[in-house]
Amino acid sequence: MVCPNCKNMLPNGSVACNRCGYSFVNNNYPNMTMQNNQNMNQGNTVNPQDQSIYRQQNNSQMQQPSQMYFQNPNYRNVNNKNNKKTSNTTLGIIGGIILFLFLLVSCFDSDDDKKSNNTEEVTTSVAVEENTEGTEEETTEEVHVVDASELSDRNIEDYSYITNEDLAKYAPNLGDQKVCFTAEVSSLYEDSIKVNLGNGFMYSDCQTTKDYSNILQEGDKILLCGTVEGQDSYGFLGNSVVIKDCEVLKVNEGLESYDTASSSDALQEYFVVTDEIANTNDVSEEEYKSVCETYSYEEILRNEDEYKGKHVVISGKVDQVIEGLLGGYSIYITDSSGNKWHCTYRYKDGESKILENDNVTVYGDLNGTANSKTVLGKQVTMPYVEINYYE
C-alpha cells in the first residue's frame, strides 16, 4: 500500500506511515511531522508553522472531496458477495411464494371451470334426453338387407341343425358332419367369417367358398351351413371350431324357424363326453365321472407319458394326509391291490376333508409319476393324480 501523504511504500495493513506519520485511522494533516501529527490528534499544542500548515490543509479539504481508504479492500468484496447471495436468496423465497400462490389460485379456477363444464354437460344431456323423449318411439333400427341372389341356394335338407353350445362342446366328435347353425358375424375376411359360439374368448373359423366381406357387415345375424373339420384348443382362452366349405343362406331375416333351443336328433349319437372333450370343455360332474377308468398300475409306471391326461378312478384307504402350500393337500392312497398313489387336492369352500384311514373313491387326471420316501428312507415312485372329485 502507498501513503497518500508522502507516497512512501508501506506493508499491507499498516496503521500509520513510518516516514511522515500519516494515520490511516485518525484525522491526518499532510506535510506535518509525525510528532506534530500525534500532538494535533491528541489535542496538544503545536508550533505556529505547523498551525499554518494545518489551516492550509484544512482549507484544501474543504474545497476537495475527501477520500476514504480501507485497511483491506478484500473485506469489502466479500461483504458485497454475501450481500448479493442474501439478496438472491430473499428474491428466490419471495418468487417461490408468489409462484405457489399463483398455482393455488389456478387450481381453484380449474376446479370451478370443471364444475361449470360438468354442469353444462349435464344440462346439455338433460336437454337432449328431453328432446329425444318424444321421438324415441318413432325411431326404428335399420336392418341390413342382402339381396337373395348374393346368398347360397344350397339345399338345407342336406344339413342337420345344431345349436352353438353343442357345436362348441362336441366339435371333436363331429368331424366331417354337415351342419347348419345361426351365428352373429364378429369379423369378415375374403375367405372366412369369424363368429363367437360362446366358447370363451376365441372366435370360430367359418371358411367360406366365396368372398362375403363386401356383402355382410359385422353384427349381422346369419344362417350358414358347412362341414365340421375339428376344434383347436387354446386353454383358458377357449376353443376355436373350424367349419369348412361354408355358405350363407340367410341374413337378419327369416332366422326364427331355424334358431331353436335344441339340435337335430340326427346328431344325438355324437353328443357324448370323451377324454378329449373333458380335457377341453367344461363338463358336469356326472359327465366327468363317466369318462374315468381304471388302468394298469404297472403300465402307468412303465409308460407314464402315454397316460398323461387320462381320467382315472381309484378306490382305497388313505395312509397319510399332508397339508401343503396355498391350501393344497397331498393324499396318499393304497388301493385294494396294495398299490400306492400320490394324489393332490385343493378343497372348495364348505367341503368336508379327507382324513387318514378313510376309505375313499377319487376321480382325477393322471399327470405322470411322483417320488416319495418311506419312513425308512427308501425312495418310492408312484402315479401322480390330480383329484377333481371324491366320495
Tell me how far the alpha carbon of residue 381 is from its chain's centroid: 43
CA dist., res. 247 & res. 326, Å (int) = 51
Report for 24-28, 33-37, 150-154, 297-301: range of highest mean pLDDT: 297-301
- What's the pLDDT score for residue 15? 74
Place of cell 371324491: 390
Q: What is the pLDDT of residues 222-249, one digit of tens each?
A: 999 999 999 888 877 888 999 999 999 9
- What's the pLDDT score for residue 275? 86
List alpha helices for the chain, DSSP H.
34-42, 48-63, 73-133, 164-170, 275-280, 285-290, 297-302, 304-307
Pairing of strands 192-195, 204-208: antiparallel
Q: What is the pLDDT of residues 166-191, one digit of tens each?
A: 999 999 999 999 999 999 999 999 99
What's the rounded mean pLDDT across residues 265-292? Answer: 90
CATH code of 148-276, in short, is 2.40.50.110
CA dist., res. 225 & res. 204, Å (int) = 14
User: 148-276 and 292-390 share one CATH topology?
Assistant: yes
Read off φ and ψ for residue 350, nearest 5 degrees.
Answer: 85, -5
Give the confidence band of 208 by pLDDT, cuts at 50, 70, 90: very high
Q: What is the number of other CB atoms lying within 10 angstroms of the CB of residue 191?
A: 14
| Distance from the first to the final alpha carbon of the chain | 112
- What's the pLDDT score for residue 145? 67
Read off φ and ψ for residue 4, nearest 5 degrees.
Answer: -70, -15
Domain made up of 292-390: CATH architecture: Beta Barrel (2.40)
CA dist., res. 83 & res. 192, Å (int) = 82
- What's the pLDDT score for residue 198? 79
Q: Which amino acid is at 211?
A: D
Of 110-124, 260-274, 282-296, minimum mean pLDDT range: 110-124
- What's the pLDDT score for residue 295? 93
Q: For residue 338, what is the DSSP state? A: S
Domain ranges of the chain: 1-71, 81-132, 148-276, 292-390
Are the C-beta atoms of 179 and 159 separated by less than 8 Å?
A: yes
Q: What is the number of other CB atoms lying within 10 angstroms of the CB of residue 174?
A: 24
What would you measure as the largest C-alpha separation in the chain, in angstroms?
151
The set of cell numbers assigned to 8 is: 512512501
Are the C-beta atoms of 333 and 374 separated by less than 8 Å?
A: no
Residues 6+ apart with CB under 8 A from 111: none
- What's the pLDDT score for residue 125? 44
